[in-house]
Amino acid sequence: MNLLASLLPLSNVELDIDARDKGAALERAAQLFENNQGLSGSRIVECLTAREQLGSTGLGKGVAIPHGRLRGLKRAAAAIIRVKEPIEFDSPDGQPVWLLVVLLVPEHATQQHLEILSELAQMLSEPSMRGQLQTIAQPAALLATVAAWEPIRPAA
């Protein structure tokens, strides 16, 4: 199992939402975490927005990984949001974003944070995986696709 699958409940997968811009998409992600994990939505928006101010989390090819460290968070959590219409995200390739994989980690979980981001970058760099994530119609099917993906890990 990959790291994302262990952090992503079905309730945190939303497909084809209306979001007019990056801020609206981040607010929707915060709302998911607030509703489904009992976290403070305003703190999450603040955390994600502060990270975006350091530099865009857009990877290119239509995907972004907004992420942040949240004080008081006990366990890492993730959400996937696919927007109905791609939104500007200041990605390095200049392309708008249609998929956001949002990651929150405890404030001091540096190694875990880096490991999850590394796997996400690997997953989202695969054209076939991006294609599947773009076309899957149901949240449960998207979650199953994510759970079935296996990262290439370096030999021990």
Q: Which two tokens stand for residue 70?
A: 């949240």
Instruction: Compute the distance between CA of residue 156 and CA of residue 150 in angstroms, rounded to an integer.
Output: 17
120 near 103, Cβ under 8 Å? yes
Kindly provide the b/e burial profile for residues 98-137, where b requires at least 16 CB atoms within 10 angstroms of the residue's own CB.
Answer: bbbbbbbbbeebeeebeebbebbeebbeeeebbebbeebe
Q: Which two tokens stand for residue 32?
A: 């998911």
Q: Is 67 a catalytic residue?
A: yes
29 near 49, Cβ under 8 Å? no
Instruction: Compute the distance between CA of residue 96 and CA of residue 89 in angstroms, rounded to an integer.
Output: 6
Of 22, 28, 67, 82, the catalytic one is 67
Active-site residues: which are they?
67
